[in-house]
Amino acid sequence: MFREDSPEEECGVLGIFAPKEDVARMAYFGLSALQHRGQEAAGIAVSDGQTLRLHKDIGLVSQVFDPLTLSKIKGDFAIGHTRYSTTGSSSARNAQPFLIDTQYGPIALAHNGNLINAAELRQELLKKGIGLSSTSDTEVMTMMLACSKGDTWFDRLKDAILHWKGAFSLVILTRDQVFAVRDPWGFHPLNVGMLPGGGHVAASEVGALRTLGCEAYREVLPGEIIALSNTAMIAFQAVPIPEQTAFCTFENIYFSRPDNVFDGKSVHAIRQRLGENLAKESPVEADVVIPVPDSSIPAAIGFSRESGIPYNDGFIKNRYIGRTFIEPNDSLRQLGIALKYNVIMENVLDKRVVMVDDSIVRGNTTGPLIQLLKAAGVKEVHLRITCPPIKHPCFMGVDMGTYDELIAHRCTVDEICRKVGADSLSYLSLQGMMSAIGREEGYCNACFTGLYPIPPTIGMTKTGFEQSIGE
């Protein structure tokens, strides 16, 4: 019952080349800055130039690693991963990075995204007589590198990348190189930065680069392969950028930490503008603007700024109750969301409240939050959502739920408004959202529009594999 009504990201990835540094320790702190992108499993693989060593397990970064563990994986090259697991596959076997020995030497790989042709590629590998030990598309990619042709890892990577359809922000570790690779559509972010003492870092988000002290950084371009193994990075446009990129809009709406930069723009600034545009599109007479913490704070600040309605905190979120395995008893279960959110009464009592939230996915927490406000003596609740209604599932690595689960697939905006008990409900329009982002196109808005940048195919779900080797 404590599951938040949010889309959920698959992963954060990290790659480091830092000669003379303890890269495992750096990876530990870098992954901590990517922990929000995946809290189920974590792993680090390190190369000392000769041998690749790996440690990964289920848990937060701080639970998976201790000083002893880190001391056993020393070297100059590292990749790391934090994983969010979709329901039903919370197995240690699917933790990343994947590490294998190949005819070309050892290789490890960590992945953020989802291949839509994974089932097909998997069948091709199996038919070649290759056995697969997990249900992950990442193992498929790793094995494809093992059987690619080409003289160098760079060549083989160029070859393999052409077969991968879908979202992949990758870091790859060989004996003496770290590669950062981004799919040609550019679905998810990937950045590289320079360490002041020499070496480079690649990471899903800019925050991780800054946490490690990087002084200059840029995004890995869609379709680009970047090799980190020298004073100078080597960048190569492996696949031409398609006519239309497909940056994931939801990185701006929800996933990225607000200090990230995506497609050249500050995520925090975009979220403020989302709030501003929402205030322009759907103004309302009210006394206070409150966010649903934490992700909606920048948008609520923007809404307040544009509307002139004062900004204030309305909810306190209990940060410690999220990952509990204790089931509440019956009377606590009736409290529901109140176990996790408390209203700051004095800030909302007898007021007309604008409640800003980033999105409504399944719709199971919005109603209870509004009830909490009403029970606390709020006069009116005007719900404002910083994106359009989510009507379609995602196949690119984001767990939005199925068609049946999506409330906006089943209900009109009016129906949703009644269901959640709001006095008014407005979603931001697609145009308003894209104008806040600052582009008209080049983004994947399939969850709003159903227009998938790569057409979905049968077998995209993982059910088939999981029937063979259960988790």
My answer on whether omega of the bond before 97 falls inside 30° of 0, hence cis, is: yes
The DSSP 8-state label assigned to residue 31 in this structure reads H
Phi, psi (degrees; rounded to nearest 5) at 175: -55, -40
- Annotated binding-site residue? 357: yes
241 or 345: whose CB is closer to its own copies?
A: 345
Query: How far apart are CB 126 and its own copies at their closest, in Å?
Result: 4
- Asked if residue 299 lies in contact with residue 275, where contact means CB atoms within 8 angstroms, the answer is yes
Sign of torsion over alpha carbons 73, 78, 79, 80 = positive
Q: Which residue in 58, 86, 146, 219 binds its own copies (CB under 8 A)?
A: 146
- Annotated binding-site residue? 358: yes
The string of DSSP letters for 402-448 reads -TTT-HHHHS-HHHHHHHHT-SEEEEPPHHHHHHHHT-SSSEE-HHH
For residue 97 the two structure tokens come to 């990075």
Would you give the binding string for its own copies spanning residues 339-368, x where CB under 8 A is met? x--xxxxxx---------------------
Q: Which residue in 49, 105, 377, 438 binds its own copies (CB under 8 A)?
A: 105
Task: Say whether 387 is catalytic.
Answer: no
- Annotated binding-site residue? 295: yes
Q: Does 95 bind its own copies (CB under 8 A)?
A: no
Query: How far apart are CB 391 and its own copies at their closest, in Å?
Result: 31
Q: Does 85 bind its own copies (CB under 8 A)?
A: no
Q: How far is CA 337 from CA 61, 170, 313, 341, 417, in A?
A: 27, 37, 17, 6, 19
Q: Does 32 bind its own copies (CB under 8 A)?
A: yes
Q: Does 283 bind its own copies (CB under 8 A)?
A: no
Q: Which residue in 13, 16, 54, 309 binds its own copies (CB under 8 A)?
A: 54
Q: Please count the other Cβ atoms lying within 10 Å of the Cβ belonging to residue 213.
A: 14
Q: Which residue in 192, 212, 437, 447 binds its own copies (CB under 8 A)?
A: 212
Q: Does 404 bind its own copies (CB under 8 A)?
A: no
178 or 396: whose CB is closer to its own copies?
A: 178
Alpha-carbon gap, residue 455 to 341, rounded angstroms: 39
Q: Does 58 bind its own copies (CB under 8 A)?
A: no
Q: Which residue in 114, 307, 312, 366 binds its own copies (CB under 8 A)?
A: 312
Q: Does 415 bind its own copies (CB under 8 A)?
A: no
HSE-CB at 103 with a 13 A cutoff on CA atoms is 11
- Asked if residue 237 lies in contact with residue 156, where contact means CB atoms within 8 angstroms, the answer is no
Alpha-carbon gap, residue 309 to 356, rounded angstroms: 13
Stretches 4-12, 46-54, 159-167, 455-463: which one binds its own copies (CB under 8 A)? 46-54
Stretches 44-52, 239-247, 355-363, 407-415: which one binds its own copies (CB under 8 A)? 44-52
The string of DSSP letters for 263-279 reads TTEEHHHHHHHHHHHHH
Query: How far apart are CB 362 and its own copies at their closest, in Å?
Result: 23
Q: Does 97 bind its own copies (CB under 8 A)?
A: no
Q: Does 2 bind its own copies (CB under 8 A)?
A: no
Angle at 410 between CA 415 and CA 340, to 5 degrees: 75
The β-bridge relationship of strands 8-9 and 191-194 is: unpaired
Binding residue positions:
248, 295, 357-358, 394, 444, 447
Binding residue positions for [4Fe-4S] cluster:
248, 394, 444, 447
Give the residue numbers marked as catalytic.
11
